[in-house]
Amino acid sequence: MTRSVIEEPQSFTLAEAQKPNLTDEEIRYAVKKLQREPNEVEWAMLEAQWSEHCSYKSSKTLLKQLPSKGPRVLVGPGFDAGVIDIGDGWVVTLHIESHNHPSAIDPYGGAATGVGGVVRDILSMGARPIALLDPLRFGSIESLHTRWLFDSVVRGIADYGNCIGVPTVGGEVEFDPSFERNCLVDVVCVGLGRKDKLVLGEARHPGDFVYLVGGRTGRDGIRGASFASKTLTEKSDTERSAIQVPDPFTKKLIIEAILEAVDAKIIEGMKDLGGGGLTCGLSEIAAKAGTGMEIDLNRVQIREPNMQPAEIMISESQERMVLLIRKENERKLVNILNKWELGYAKIGHVTRDGLLIIRQGNEVVAKAPAKFVAEAPLVPRSAKRPEYLDALAEVPEPALPEDLDQTLIELLSSPNIASKEWIYRQYDHEVGIRTLVKPGQADSAILRLPNKRALALTTGGNSKQCYIDPYWGTMGVVSEAFCNLVAVGAEPVALVDHLQFGDPGNPEVYWTFKE
């Protein structure tokens, strides 16, 4: 017999709630939709999934305006990575994400897990990760703190990428005092796969079993999504429990095992576990298909004693994937996972009713529609032109320097322009034997493709220009990226954007985002 700890609908006042990190409006919305007060586990799940980091609740409306369809686009926004058709049955997948807050606290681990996260996004589409790029932003290079962040971030990216055998073939770095406290650590990953073996993050078939594959679940990364949605302060250093722990050796095993299962065509759906952990992975993969899931947390392999249901549901322990498998393919999957000596557990199954039901043995600890959990209520934001733009307009145009030779020397010696060889020499940019044009040789990296074609990759950004004029600055960034590709003889066919702003509740910040 299953026992439920879900309370029946009752009268509720906001003051009685054990407040999660949600707005008053979101708390009222949750109570209204469920017709009861969520319990501790459900509040924790909503706090994670409805964070800015996971939900895009303040930006989704605007991001939908971006053009995302084209003759080569097979999969656009809404899944873990974009997919473009490169002909002859081959596809390229691409995604970019950041790990800014974790890298500001633990730069080595934060950067390494940033690589791990974006690699999982590519893998979850059924593609092999073949290249990384790393656009980075730091404070003044004269600062000892910045030098520590810079050195540690580069080592974290290098060690993780080198261990999993994925080359880092490009990137960029900018130093500016505005990034002193909040460095930006972005990572691009590109994958290669077959069109007929693509896997989508959708639980389309009720009855499919849910497998949790890879590393064990611990307390690292708990509330990481909420942490990533906050403003960094001097007290942020105390939130180290929100930082995930990298394990590139397990990741390498996951890559090879998953791709073997993809080749065997036994994976019905797949989702990586990053921000929000099981809460995000399970709710989103079910909501996409309008199905539900029933999960038993007692089957989840944990690495720390006495973990509570809420901790298991929002843990962001790394190197974990959710796979959906038909009953007749279970033995094939288990054989592959045992071959690669990977941990796994069958933790539940897909249901028809659209409900996400979380049990701990016979006790139901959380129950809500998967779509309700996965899709946070959108937040309308006000926008106001920043006052600083008026002040910038009054700044006189600088006079031309008298000694142009000295000015040229000063420019070339700037860390923003000088050679970045110290960085890319730490990366194995030739592993996989696909790299034709290497870092430092041209404006874009070029990789060899199996269909006698080549793939050019580049990144771009200009913080100062976008600060002075968000609209035209962004136009310039896109133009420069296209020019970098054209300069090596390539045709631009797709781009991904990674826009990073301050608090969306600040009207001046939101105005710059809209521009």
- 426-471 pLDDT per residue, tens: 999 899 899 999 999 999 999 999 988 999 999 999 999 999 999 9
Q: Are residues 244 and 105 in the same domain?
A: no
Task: Indicate the residue type of 504.
Answer: P
Q: Is 101 a catalytic residue?
A: no
Q: Per residue of the chain (515 residues), what is the pLDDT tens digit? A: 444 444 444 444 444 445 688 999 999 999 999 999 999 999 999 999 999 989 999 999 999 999 999 999 999 999 999 999 999 999 999 999 998 988 999 999 999 999 999 999 999 999 999 999 999 999 999 999 999 999 999 999 999 999 999 999 999 999 999 999 889 999 999 999 999 999 999 999 999 999 999 999 999 878 644 444 445 455 545 545 556 788 999 999 999 999 999 999 999 999 999 889 999 999 999 999 999 999 999 999 999 999 999 999 999 999 999 999 999 999 999 999 999 999 999 999 999 999 999 999 999 999 999 999 999 999 999 999 999 998 888 888 888 888 999 999 999 999 999 999 999 999 998 998 999 999 999 999 999 999 889 999 999 999 999 999 999 999 999 999 999 999 999 999 999 998 999 999 999 999 999 99
Per residue in 260-283, is it b (16+ CB within 10 Å) or e — as a string? bbbeeebbbbbbbbbbbbbbbbbb
Q: Are residues 386 and 341 in the same domain?
A: no
Contact 185, 103 (CB under 8 A): yes
Q: Are residues 142 and 206 in the same domain?
A: no
Please report the pLDDT score of residue 181 as a whole number.
87
**Can you tell me the distance from the alpha carbon of 18 to that of 290, in angstroms, rounded to the nearest whole number?**
30
Residue finishing a domain among 374, 397, 413: 374
Q: What is the pTM of this model?
A: 0.90
Q: Are residues 370 and 386 in the same domain?
A: no
281 found inside a domain: yes
Please report the pLDDT score of residue 395 as a whole number.
85
| Count of structural domains within the chain | 2
Contact 515, 389 (CB under 8 A): no
Chain centroid, CA 377 distance in Å = 21
Q: Are residues 259 and 309 in the same domain?
A: yes
296 found inside a domain: yes
CATH number of the domain at 370, please: 3.90.650.10
Residue finishing a domain among 309, 339, 374: 374
Tokens of 438: 């290497």
Q: Are residues 216 and 364 in the same domain?
A: yes
Per the residue annotation, which of 95, 99, 101, 349 is the catalytic one? Answer: 99
Residues 100, 187, 221, 104, Cα dihedral to 10°: -30
Residue finishing a domain among 341, 374, 407: 374
The number of helix segments (H) and strand segments (E) in the chain equals 19, 17
Tokens of 71: 């003759």
Per residue in 231-252, is it b (16+ CB within 10 Å) or e — as a string? ebeeebeebeebbbbbbbebbb
**Can you tell me the distance from the alpha carbon of 488 to that of 484, in angstroms, rounded to the nearest whole number?**
7
14 found inside a domain: no
Domain range holding 508? Answer: 80-197+382-514
336 found inside a domain: yes
364 found inside a domain: yes
**Can you tell me the distance from the alpha carbon of 472 to that of 110, in angstroms, rounded to the nearest whole number?**
32
Q: What percent of the chain has pLDDT over 70?
A: 92
**Can you tell me the distance from the alpha carbon of 238 to that of 218, in angstroms, rounded to the nearest whole number?**
19
Q: Are residues 206 and 172 in the same domain?
A: no
Per the residue annotation, which of 53, 95, 101, 349 is the catalytic one? Answer: 53
Q: Are residues 168 and 250 in the same domain?
A: no
CATH number of the domain at 420, please: 3.30.1330.10
Please report the pLDDT score of residue 156 as a whole number.
96
Please report the pLDDT score of residue 398 as a whole number.
85
Please report the pLDDT score of residue 329 as a whole number.
98
342 found inside a domain: yes
Q: Are residues 350 and 468 in the same domain?
A: no
Q: Are residues 362 and 401 in the same domain?
A: no
Q: Are residues 275 and 343 in the same domain?
A: yes
Q: Are residues 331 and 207 in the same domain?
A: yes
Q: Is 145 a catalytic residue?
A: no
186 found inside a domain: yes
- CA separation (Å) from 322 to 123, 160, 196, 278, 396? 12, 22, 21, 8, 57
Residue for token digits 């079910």? Answer: 286
28 found inside a domain: no
